[in-house]
Amino acid sequence: MRVTITKSRVRSILTRTSGYLKTVTSHSMQPYRGCTFGNSLCGVGCYVQHNHWLTRGAEWGSFLEVRTNAPEAYRSQYQKERRWARRARGGFSIFLSSSTDPFLPQEKTFGITGRLLEAMNESPPDVLIIQTHTHLVNAYSDLYLQLARQCELRFHISIESDRDRLPGLPPPASSVEKRFEAAAALRAAGLRVVITVSPLLPISEPRGFFERIAQVADGVVIDHFIGGDGTPDGSRTKATKLPAAMARFDPQTTDDKYLERTVRVALEVMPGRVGVNVDGFAGRFLPVR
């Protein structure tokens, strides 16, 4: 798909969270509007494509707006938003990002996320969660080490399955292997890493998958599109090609019983390090029984 790239200047970059994200962080931050991973595996069921305010009617994955002054906007909002968050939400915490990926291939050209990380090093939040689907996250290792000294820093790396391909769907933007390597490198540098199995896709060897995660991450978060896509019955995801592709591979993976079965295996392998749905994203793990 041809991608149209535009540039914009924004009045604000820190957005006060609402909905499910409200229990995770006080703010979210999107260096870009749109996501060029929309044409890859994660884009098929991506919840953001249903946000018409954000897509403005364009096909998901077909546009990218580069927010060129995002770091300046962060600096100008910092004091006011930090004050508000500490008073109203018990802390100033940022989710980077919830409706794009901070490390799209275009980041190499535009460097918006890199400059935002520099701005956050000057004026740190209390907590920063960096959420990504790609090994390109490792581009800014030096900035992460500085940031980790100033705030609670946590990486969420999405690895939804041990399989790279689901028949009939596009490949992932970054292979399972490369994402595992990226997680291992971040953790070896002493940074906190959580693997987000979100949305949970068919897994060939669940035990082996979680054993591998246990080696490269501090924790794992598992969520199924039913109960995890912002609708009670997964209807947003059911409107996409994802459930049919999952069912073709294994019909037992499209209901929430699959989540229960998978969580049981994860708990056996990683007791005390497993979170489910939004609780997991917020860093709340299931207790050890």
Question: Which residues contact ligand SF4 by CB under 6 A?
Answer: 35, 37-38, 42-43, 46, 48, 99-101, 133
- The tokens describing 111, both together, are 């460097």
Which lies closer to ligand SF4 via its Cβ, residue 133 or residue 212? 133
Least separation in angstroms between residue 285's CB and ligand SF4 is: 23
Residues with Cβ within 8 Å of 81's Cβ and at least 6 positions away in sequence, in order, are: 14, 16, 26, 27, 92
Query: For the chain, what's the residue count?
Result: 289
| Structure tokens that stand for 71 in this block | 């770091």
User: How many of the other CB atoms lie within 10 Å of CB of 8?
Assistant: 12
CB nearer ligand SF4, residue 107 or residue 126: 107
Smallest distance from ligand SF4 to CB 15, Å: 15
**Shortest distance (Å) from residue 3 CB to ligand SF4:** 12
We find the least distance from the C-beta atom of residue 42 to ligand SF4, in angstroms, to be 3
Of 61 and 206, the one with the shorter C-beta distance to ligand SF4 is: 61
Nearest Cα to 285, choosing from 233, 235, 221? 221
Question: How near is the Cβ of 203 to ligand SF4 at its closest, in Å?
Answer: 18
Q: Which is nearer to ligand SF4, 89 or 230 (CB)?
A: 230
Residue placing its CB nearer to ligand SF4 in the complex, 42 or 112? 42
Give all strands of the β-sheet with 93-96 in edge-to-edge order: 14-16, 27-29, 93-96, 127-132, 152-158, 192-197, 219-222, 274-276
CB nearer to ligand SF4: pick between 25 and 100: 100
For residue 155, the cross-strand partners are 130, 193
Q: Which of 159, 253, 172, 173 is nearest to 214 (CA)?
A: 159
Q: Residue 231 CB, nearest distance to ligand SF4 (Å)? A: 16
Say how far apart CA 209 and CA 225 lie, in whole Å.
19
Residues 6 or more apart from 72 whose CB is under 8 A from it?
Answer: none
